């Protein structure tokens, strides 16, 4: 198992650092097992603005996709490459 370094010579890995998203998405969010136990139909979404993963129900996932938040996250990602 490969572990990603949390700290670099420059200090902690913060948003904008090349390893930030790799580290952020290398593990599931806290409390996801309890959520999954009570909601068997669930998904993980990256919230707009923070990109922090969150466990959500199927209904919340539909709202995320069709309500425009997914588009916001994708626009944020595209902004880094413009």
pLDDT of residue 82: 39
- pLDDT(81) > 60: no
Question: Which of 57, 60, 51 has its CA nearest to residue 79?
Answer: 51
Per-residue pLDDT at 46: 87
For the record, the structure tokens of 3 come out as: 């572990």
- pLDDT, tens digit, for every residue of 15-73? 777 887 787 777 788 889 999 999 999 999 988 888 788 999 999 999 999 999 999 98
- 80 pLDDT above the threshold of 70: no
What are the C-alpha distances in Å from 2 to residues 10, 38, 55, 66? 21, 31, 24, 36
SS3 66: helix
The bridge status of strand 7-8 relative to strand 11-12 is antiparallel
């Amino acid at each position: 198992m490969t572990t990603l370094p949390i700290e670099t010579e420059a200090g902690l890995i913060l948003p904008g650092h090349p390893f930030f998203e790799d580290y952020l998405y290398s593990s599931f969010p806290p409390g996801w097992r309890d959520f999954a136990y009570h909601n068997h139909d669930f998904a993980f979404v990256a919230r707009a603005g923070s990109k922090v993963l969150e466990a959500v129900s199927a209904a919340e996932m539909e709202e995320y996709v069709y309500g425009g938040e997914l588009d916001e996250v994708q626009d944020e990602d595209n902004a880094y490459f413009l």
